[in-house]
Structure formats: C-alpha cells, structure tokens
Chains A and B, each alone.
Chain A
C-alpha cells in the first residue's frame, strides 16, 4: 500500500525527445512516490533515464525534451502542466536542487553571500540583513567553518567539498519540501563524499524534507536511502525498501548490478559481469528491455512488457514474479 498522501507523486511519466529520425523515449512509464522525510534513491547506469526523471520533476528538461504523458504531483497538486512562471516560483521555494558539479551551480562572479542572499530574498519576505544572517546560519549548518568570514568569498576560493556544502546551503535557502540531488557526491573524493552524505542525511532529518537522490553508486544508496528505485533503459526495473533491494534483489538486472560491484573482504572471486551494454534509445528491445542480457529470460520476456509486480519485499518489473501476483 502506498503511504497516505505522499509529498511527491509521479505517475506514468514519459519523457520524449523528438528527433529527425523519430521520437526517442528516454523515460517510459515511470511511477513512484516519495513521502515527507523520506530519501528515495534512484540508481541506474548511464542512459537509464534517472537524471531526466529528476529534471522532469523540477521542470528543467532541456529542449527538445518534453513530458509526453503522465503526471507529477507535489503535495497533491499537479506541477507538470504549470506555466513556466508558476513553475519557476515552485522551483527553489518548494523544490531545491543539488547537482553533480558544484562549480556549475555557482556563479563565479558573485560572492557566496550575494548568491545566498539573492536566493533567500527571491523566495522569502525578509530584509537584506535578515537574509544575510540566515545565509550565515545556513553555511554553518552545512558545516563550513568561519561562515561569517567565508560568506564574502568567491566560489573559486572554496575547495570542491566546501563548494558542494555551499550548494547544499543554497538548496536549503527557502526550506524546500523536496530536494532533488543529482549525483551530489560523484565529483568528490571518498573522504569528502562520506561527509557530504552525512550532511544530506542530517539535513533531511532535521528539516523533514523529502529527498530524491539520483546516483549510480550503490554504496551511496546503501548509506542514505530509505527506498530505492532501480532504472534500466528509461523504465523502472525494481522499487522497494533499500535493505530489500540491496540484499535480496528481485529483478535479474538489480541482481547483476549488485554482484558486479567489487567489495572489500569478499576474498577474490571473479566479479560477476553483465554481458553486453545498455541499449541505445533508438533500439530498445521489445518486451522487457533487459531480456537480451538477462540470464533468466524466457519466451514471454521478448514479447510482452512486464509491469511492476510484487516480488519478495519489493516490486519488480519481471515476468519471473508473475505467478506471485496470480497466487
């Protein structure tokens, strides 16, 4: 059963890119929900459509990409068909975003303080000095030492890890209900990554914000997420509680993904590998998109596309679990 009144609800989302050679479907029939205070991890390999799903939610799909079907609701209210101006007000105020490369999220020509104050005053009715006070408090909360001094510095004066902290402070400016974090730790070293993961977790808990955490790194998911959605070729392969999906994956793709990750202290057996590669968008296989690479495929997989169905502790789009539904 879905939780009562989820904060974010995405239903049958379809994102298309019209090209001269036909329409590419980059996100195809994706549905999920995130409750308040919950972290949903979205994992998948390059080209799985995880970032596009996030971009569709904040309304930042790049042209010519467009939402072709489905709906996105924030606290029950549809936001996918809002005019650009209305969406712009929601973005930043009610939805915050953290991207992979902190340097591209910050304007190099303005001080950190100017950028924070501008964002705060755009969304909240406060005076300049109040906004500055709030900016300093946010920087302190994001773990930046001596914030009252560093607020007047420029982005280039910060290290990579510190910049990502500034971006997190920026995303928190207006106390958003939902934070979309797209690969927030990918550009960072492991020791910094651990600190940023801790920060995102703490912030989510203290502010009761929902987080959609997009990443290719299962380790980050295991550390942070309450639930996980696994994407493959623009579709959801599996969705369920993080512990279930990681320890008892139900979709053969999730299982393959998990066993291809090198782990410490497992002796040194050969890594399991998934042969082949993710299909290109112009050549998505019929039926289940994973079937050409799947070690457990059978006749039905190539013809009929599976929907998400109950499987173990989660739900998986795989015909192997078809009997569980009828039973």
Chain B
C-alpha cells in the first residue's frame, strides 16, 4: 500500500500503444510493402487522483478507448507505463494482479457485455468467483442481493435473464457486476452512449451516487461533451492518439485553450437556440495511418503557422493555466 493519500491513484507515463495493420506476411514479401503501424495512443501522460472523475473526450479514433483498455490490461502498452497506487503495472507478476483486482470496467454496449444464457445473479457473482474470494453460497447470494439493491434493482431480479431487462437496467447489472469485488477504480467506456437520454440521466445520477457513497475513482470515456461536463471533475481532450488539453471541468468549458477544444465546443448543437455566433467546423479527422507532421491538428487549425507544421507541441502549462499542447497558446497567438 502506498501511504501518501495525496499521491495519484493512477498515473500514466508517456503511455503509447501501436497496432500492426500491415498486410499479411506473404503480401509484404511479394509486394515489398513495409510494415505499417497505427499509433493509437502516443505519449499520453496524466494522473488520476483519488475520488475524482477524469474524463477523456474526443472523436472516433482518437485513442480514448485504447487508453481505457490499456489501463485494465486488455491491451499491453507498446511504450511507457502505468502506475496504480505506486505499483508499476506490467504483464504477469503478483503485484500487478493484486492492483488490477482493485479496478473494474464498464462497457458501452449493455447488450453485448452480458451473457444471455446466464441468470443475472450468476453474472453479478462472476467476478467474485474469478478472483477467488472465499465465500460460501449463502454469502455470495447475500452479496448479489445487496449489489442489485445498490444499483436500483430488486434482489428478485437475480433469477431473471438479461433479455428480460431494458438497456438502462442492463447497464445497472453491468455496474453491479463491476462493483461486486469492492473495486476502488472504475474504467467506464462510453457507459451511456447506447442509452436514451432519460435513461442516461438515471445511470449518470446512479454513478454519481455510488461514487459519493463508496469513494470510487472513475475514468470516464465519452464523446459527448455535455455528459462529460455533468459527470467529470477533470477532462482530457484527445486528438489522434495524443492528449491536447487537460483541464478542470469548470475551466474547460469557460476557457477552452486548444483550438481543437474550441472547435468541439462550437460544434455542439445549441439547445438554447440563442443563435450564438459560431465558427463553422471545417474538415475531418485525418487518416491515423498517415498523421500530419508537427501538430496533428494543424491542417484544420485556423491558427497554424510554419512551426505547427513541423514541430510537435508538448502538453505543458504555458503561463498560468491548465496544460495544453499548442504552439499558438505557448506564443500567446490565440485570440481569447
């Protein structure tokens, strides 16, 4: 156990993950094609403090889900490392296994992540069995009943099958399953994206209540800035595998600094119909196999100059303020 309570619970250090998307070996030999690597995550460093909710936002393919999967060990890092409560996570090793038992994950699709042939009680109790926590039959069913009640279902629901539940109720089952082994840290990968808004509100409120009651720490992955504004205490914005801005939730929406963050905020539909003036959004995310040189955002950035086209910006606190990876911010070239 790490004794310092102010130390971050989770630390990512220059984390990177490549995927090999080369053609098959024979094609490479015959066509003399080189290996091709897709850098899904590239040099991501940040801390997650105890009890907070850090959200990662970005568009499809920005690497946010890959970060989530790296943390829980569904992928192994290609570069860099992850520390959980002072323990450096690696493949194998008793320390790593013990640390990973303290984290759980909730997935996006509550239809695909529950075994349709198992009763809910068995689904919820599975992590208990998998982690070999000693418990009698009676203790397990008491724990399952308690969990189901914690997420707003009734103990009798344990005898049903997943298909008897709606999407929102299924996501509650997923949350109960994730909580069964008393984890401290939950990785939530788009947990409400597959749900209707009224149900989404139920799940977001439930997650907030559970966090308060159990002192949980969340990593919350989402593409929806409004959802993130509601649930997160800090927000990291990702673009093409890199973290471009990291700020408190309050600051990010009031004073976005990176031009990409500003563009994302401008793209949000305006529910107030206030007719606020907005910069039209231009362009699309480039092909991640051939990311632009320099700052990956420069082809779409209205403030790009020659330096942006060649030199990659690092995530730093320029002047006072939250860390941002942008030459224009560093040189104070941005209009505020």
Contact = CB atoms under 8 A, between A and B. Distances in A.
B197 interface: yes
Given A189-B223, A190-B268, A277-B168, A271 B204 contact: yes
Given A46-B167, A218-B271, A246-B271, 8 more contacts: A193-B267, A219-B270, A264-B229, A271-B230, A273-B198, A277-B168, A278-B166, A278-B196
Contacts of B198: 45, 256-257, 260, 273-274
Contacts of B229: 262-265, 268
A191 B226 contact: no
A161 to B, nearest CB: 6
A219 B269 contact: yes
Interface in B250-270: 253-254, 263-270
Contacts of B225: 190, 264
A189 B60 contact: yes
Contact of A261 (B166, B202, B226, B284): B226
A263 B269 contact: no
A189 B197 contact: no
A247 interface: yes
A243 B200 CA distance: 24
A257 B196 CA distance: 10
Contacts of B202: 273-275
Interface string A206-246: 00000000001111101100000000000000000011001
Given A189-B59, A191-B263, A194-B281, A261 B269 contact: no
A262 B225 CA distance: 9
A263 B271 contact: yes
Contacts, number: 117
B267 A246 contact: no
19 contacts: A189-B285, A191-B263, A191-B264, A191-B285, A193-B267, A194-B269, A222-B271, A260-B200, A261-B197, A261-B271, A262-B230, A264-B265, A265-B229, A265-B254, A268-B229, A271-B205, A272-B201, A274-B198, A274-B202
B24 to A, nearest CB: 19
Interface residues of A, number: 43
B5 interface: no
Given A191-B263, A270-B205, A257 B269 contact: no
A231 to B, nearest CB: 12
A195 interface: yes
Contacts of A262: 200-201, 204, 224, 226-227, 229-230
B120 to A, nearest CB: 16
A264 B253 contact: yes
A277 B230 CA distance: 22
Nearest to A160: B60
Contacts of B169: 277
A5 B167 CA distance: 42
A174 B265 CA distance: 36
A284 interface: no
A163 to B, nearest CB: 11
A162 B264 CA distance: 19
Contact of B199 (A159, A162, A242, A277): A277
Contacts of A294: none
A137 interface: no
A197 interface: yes
Contacts of B132: none
Contacts of B280: 194-195, 198
A222 B197 contact: no
A191 B60 CA distance: 11
Contact of A222 (B263, B267, B273, B284): B273
A122 B204 CA distance: 50
A194 B266 CA distance: 9
From A218, A222, A243, A273, name the one whose CB has the most chain B CB atoms within 10 angstroms. A273
A276 to B, nearest CB: 9
A192 interface: yes
Nearest to B252: A264
Contacts of B269: 193-194, 197, 217, 219-220, 222-223
Given A45-B197, A273-B202, A277-B168, A190 B226 contact: no
Interface string B90-108: 0000000000000000000
A222 B59 contact: no
Given A189-B285, A219-B270, A277 B166 contact: yes
B76 to A, nearest CB: 28
